[in-house]
Structure 1
Amino acid sequence: MRFRDRAVAGLTTLLLPFAALVGLATPAEAATSATATYAKTQDWGTGFEGKWTIKNTGTTSISSWTVEWDFPSGTSVTSAWEADVTGSGTHWTAKNKSYNGTLAPGASVSFGFNGAGSGSPSGCKLNGASCDGGSVPGDNPPSAPGKPTASDITNTSVKLSWTAATDDNGIKNYDVLRDGTKVATVTGTSYSDTGLTAGTDYSYAVQARDSADQTGPVSSSVAVRTTGGSTDPTPSPGGKVKLGYFTEWGVYGRNYHVKNLVTSGSASKITHINYAFGNVKNGQCVVDDTYAAYDKAYTADQSVDGVADTWDQPLRGNFNQLRKLKAKYPNIKVLYSFGGWTYSGGFGQAAQNPAAFAESCHKVLNDPRWADVFDGIDIDWEYPNACGLTCDTSGAAAFKNLMSALRGKFGTSKLVTAAITADGSSGGKIDAADYGGAAQYIDWYNVMTYDYFGAWAAQGPTAPHSPLTSYSGIPTAGFNSDAAIQKLKGKGVPAGKLLLGIGFYGRGWTGVTQSAPGGTATGPAAGTYEQGIEDYKVLKTSCPATGTIAGTAYAHCGSNWWSYDTPSTIAGKMTWAKNQGLGGAFFWEFSGDTAGGELVSAINSGLQ
């Protein structure tokens, strides 16, 4: 991309094939009346991610906890979070942090770590006593049940059903979770939830329990919206990621605010928002425009919930409006995106100390003023080991190392994603970094399948900036969505971890006499904010589409030539994305759409 208002150009889970949960305990009387159980939550061959869960099973509070265990030779802890972990030979000790040592009766806490090797822990001790996990040696917890399906949705109820979990000694029952809270325990594989509120969004998941009362991993969740309510019911987001970028600076000249997502109808048709951009300074994540982010005051009519900000409230600005949006639309997840075209120069220094960078990002996202706002982090590095606004020489492994550090720091509690190049040419930007190797650490890639061609080539030839496929006369081989997606698949990136990028804007030239692509020009066409670029909401009437090429619309009006996506071409691209098995689609960015959100609607409908 050649301008600041762009996220570089791709829902699947990060988890690799699941390793069985292991309860490490022998029946014993624990002096602290507590248990410690272990789970291997990821395994990537040369290493793994582990998690310990400590639960107070007694009747009095615990003020601190220490978990000890042994690994076989060749297996070790490489990083940890939510506990201070130290090792001596093959023996490992984890102590609580200052903020998570106290456990009330019935409460539990978890900490995680990344490990090298393939061994399993043994000899577990909790506060000096045996870890009594309540499990029989060799008895593995159950698998995750299937993702629930919803049916018979009414104003106040929904019927849920799911495929059974498996267990070596049999399933005892299932916990049904609504918005993360258990609402029922059932012995079968269906449940009808009643007493709901009309016109309201809910999220459901289920978790199996075996005969030893061990719980397995939680299933994938399904979003449900009850019928009725004060507004017309809106469709549930479905199984694909539908993600849009919200720009921090859009609240100024563009006058686009979080409330516009509601008034346009877009909020009910998306699953994720990337808030752009945080800056990368001195190798660390930092908030960029603090006024727009968390200080700008909103009046009642500007606010998502119709309530005005007060001078003394602890959080205002975009962050507070996003919090209100999530309360209104609980299915939406918000990620904080760092970098972008302008701020990617800081990633080179970050790559020199990935752990410190990850620590700084974790600190920003978990600031107590807005820790509930962000569900993950998005890295928009333009471009690792290649040239963007500046040229990076960090090496092919730098991007993978950075993503590994972020996953290690955030664990599985947050989404970790990245916006990446869509340069599918031979020896191009996709080949410059180890995107295949880094895929194990990310939930998905936002593949920036736009800005292939534009008026930075002032004399042309005119070409669609977001071609889906190649075509006769395309100026550069490999500069199209299909080439990028196939190259990434060839490098081992699962199709489900790739999102197709859509631009809510057009790129154009002036001085053009030829209607078909391939004509000459004299320079960039005039744009509202920058030469050579214009929002879709303007172009749809100022220069209506006159043809299509490679799945993208183009328009010749007067001496100007523009290319951009329309609801029709987006529908075609979404069909292609589904046929390719992609995880969904994303777009740059909300303010380019019409007041009624017609492009967002096209993405939503196309991915159903």
Structure 2
Amino acid sequence: MSRGRWAAGAVAVALLATAFAAAPAQAHRKDGDRVVGYYTQWSGYGRNFLISDLVKNGTAQRLTHLNYAFGFLDEQGRCVSADPWADYQRPFTAEQSVNGKEDVAGQPLAGNLNQLRQLKQRYPRLRVLISLGGWTGSKYFSNAALTPESRAEHVRSCIDMWIKGNLPGAAPGAAAGIFDGIDLDWEWPGSEAAPGNVVRPEDKANFTLLVREYRAQLGKRADLTAFLPANPGMVERGFEVRKVFKELTFATIQGYDYHGSWDSVTNQQSALRTPRGGPTDPDFSGQVAIGAYLDRGAPRHKLVLGVPFFSRGWTGVSGGGDGLFQPATGPAPATWEAGYEDYKVLKTKLDEFTVHRDNRAGHAWLFDGTTFWTWDDPVEMRRKARFISDNRLGGAMIWSLDGDTADGELIRALHSGLRC
């Protein structure tokens, strides 16, 4: 499951050249050291990637923020758990636990939330946020944001459940103190995204009002963040950027899923600059995405660029050459979702592929003559870190932490680049 794709049609973009020229390289701001990672509640199932693995592979010590994905909304806009078993009911063995102790029957809290509590005890400077929505959980955000009453009730319910820790069926306050704030992943105000999502013309203004309601109820000390789209058309339709950023601690900007197997030709999914010769004009890139927010008044130190620990892939590629911008018959076979594969899985198959890089545009891919995968390896992670540093952005965000290797190959490269 990905962070969610967005329509990759032609978009009118007026990217100011001065937006990046005005950002000379300099010593890091403190904000630029942010490393935000998404841990998904389903990681502990088929992938068997547990929160304790964040300690074992060196990830936890390199994170500044961990976003736990996802909490959902019901039709009335109130917060609910998407998976109570994973969130707070599943018992962990001593071997599986962060603190090395087995969960016992009758304890106030189990599941991933208890493991997050143990992780925070081990890394007290780590900020942990509950992420609400996502690609499959944004259906009712428009209902939550619709009126002053619905906004107030939505925020109250989310604070009660996730910040105060009052979980259904658990002791009052069982999960209190785990989350340091809330991450809003409404995909997307004013645009349908996943089929069936509720969309209204007033979503744009209502998103601003929802963010203000969150800030008013959370107070100034809690973190309030949002995941925002890379598509400039969606930015224009859904966000009053200057007003929203006034309330946010920072925002993570989609730095991937620019293209995927929903397209009929192979392409990049996370290039830093628009590649030459592509089939889409204008096309998408990290520079275009960040520029869309800078042009609308977002402060660069609050812009955290997303990076993928996964690949997008096509098969049945024809046309020869290195495989880029060539027709394909469909998504490449993969472990969990056709056309989507974790970095750690593809790395084990490198002897089957040739690695290609576009150093000007800043992206890479794998090709074996038939199958094509986008490729964000340590080389590309360091390249993205330099881009973040050179443009004085607010840091990097990872989707998702379960895609890395057992020794944390990707996060080590990203982290070292951000701090070099």
Normalised-by-shorter TM-score class:
0.7 to 0.9
How far 1:545 moved relative to its partner?
A: 5.3
Q: CA deviation at 1:564?
A: 2.2
Instruction: Tell me the distance in 2 between the aligned counterparts of 1:252 and 1:539.
Output: 20
C-alpha separation between the residues in 1 aligned to 2:342 and 2:257?
14
How many residues matched? 374
**What TM-score, normalized by structure 1, do the two folds share?**
0.60
Within 2, Cα distance between the matches of 1:278 and 1:269? 24
Matched residues in 2 for 1:474 and 1:342: separation?
A: 30
Question: Which residue of structure 1 lines up, in the alignment, with residue 11 of structure 2?
Answer: none
Call closer, same or farther: CA 1:489–1:402 in 2, change over 3 Å. Answer: same
**How much does 1:535 deviate?**
0.5
Q: Which residue of 1 aligns with 2:127?
A: 333
1:147-546 correspondence to structure 2 within 5 Å: 240-281=33-74, 282-352=76-146, 353-365=150-162, 366-367=164-165, 368-390=173-195, 392-395=199-202, 396-424=204-232, 428-433=233-238, 434-457=240-263, 459-460=264-265, 462-476=266-280, 477-513=282-318, 514=320, 515-543=322-350, 544=353, 546=355
Identical-pair percentage: 39
Is residue 6 from structure 1 mapped to residue 8 from structure 2 by the alignment?
no
The DSSP-based 3-state class of the residue aligned with 2:139 is: helix
How far apart are residue 8 of structure 1 and its match? 7.5
Letter paired with 1:309: D
CA distance in 2, matches of 1:602, 1:475: 31
Following the alignment from structure 1 to structure 2, what is the Cα–Cα distance between the partners of residues 264 and 456?
Answer: 33
CA contact (8 A) 1:407 1:416 kept: yes
The amino acid of 2:290's aligned partner reads I
Query: Which structure exhibits the higher relative contact order, with contacts defined as CA atoms closer than 8 Å and separated by 6 or more residues?
Result: 2
* 1:414-458 alpha-carbon deviations (Å, 9 max, x no partner): 10000010113xxx101112123211110111101100101112x
**Residue number in structure 1 paired with 2:10:** none
Letter in 2 for 1:385: G
Do the aligned residues in 2 keep the contact of 1:452 with 1:465 (CA within 8 Å)? yes
SS of the residue 1:276 aligns to: strand
Which amino acid counterpart does residue 382 of structure 2 have in structure 1?
A
Deviations 1:341-365 (A, max 9, x none): 0011110101112222111111112
Contact 1:503–1:564 under 8 Å retained in 2: no
Residue 553 of structure 1, CA deviation: 1.2
Amino acid at match of 1:381: W
Measured after TM superposition, the shift of residue 546 of structure 1 is: 1.5
- Render the CA deviation track for 1:554-573: whole Å, top value 9, x for unaligned: 01024100102111011011
Residue 516 (structure 1) shift: 4.0
Deviation (angstroms), 1:288: 1.5
* Bigger fraction of residues in strand: 1
CA distance in 2, matches of 1:7, 1:418: 14
How far off is 1:239 after superposition? 5.6
Structure showing greater radius of gyration is 1
Partners of 1:341 and 1:261 in 2: CA distance? 24
CA distance, structure 2, for counterparts of residue 474 and residue 377 of structure 1: 38
Distance 1:445 1:381, change over 3 A: same
Q: 2:17 aligns to what?
A: none
Q: Supply the distance in 2 between the matched residues of 1:278 and 1:8 (Cα, whole angstroms).
A: 19
Helix, strand or coil at the partner of 1:501:
strand
SS of alignment partner, residue 517 of structure 1:
coil
Q: Deviations over 1:154-196 (max 9, x none)?
A: xxxxxxxxxxxxxxxxxxxxxxxxxxxxxxxxxxxxxxxxxxx
Q: Which runs of 5+ in 2 are unaligned?
A: 7-28, 166-172
Q: Which amino acid aligns with 1:559?
A: T
CA distance in 1, matches of 2:106, 2:69: 26
- 1:256, CA displacement in angstroms? 0.9
Higher helix proportion: 2
Distance 2:156 2:4 in 1: 23
Q: Give the Cα–Cα distance (whole angstroms) in 2 for the partners of residues 248 and 602 of structure 1.
A: 25
SS of equivalent to 1:360: helix
TM-score, normalisation: structure 2: 0.86
Structure 1 unpaired stretches of 5+: 10-219, 223-237
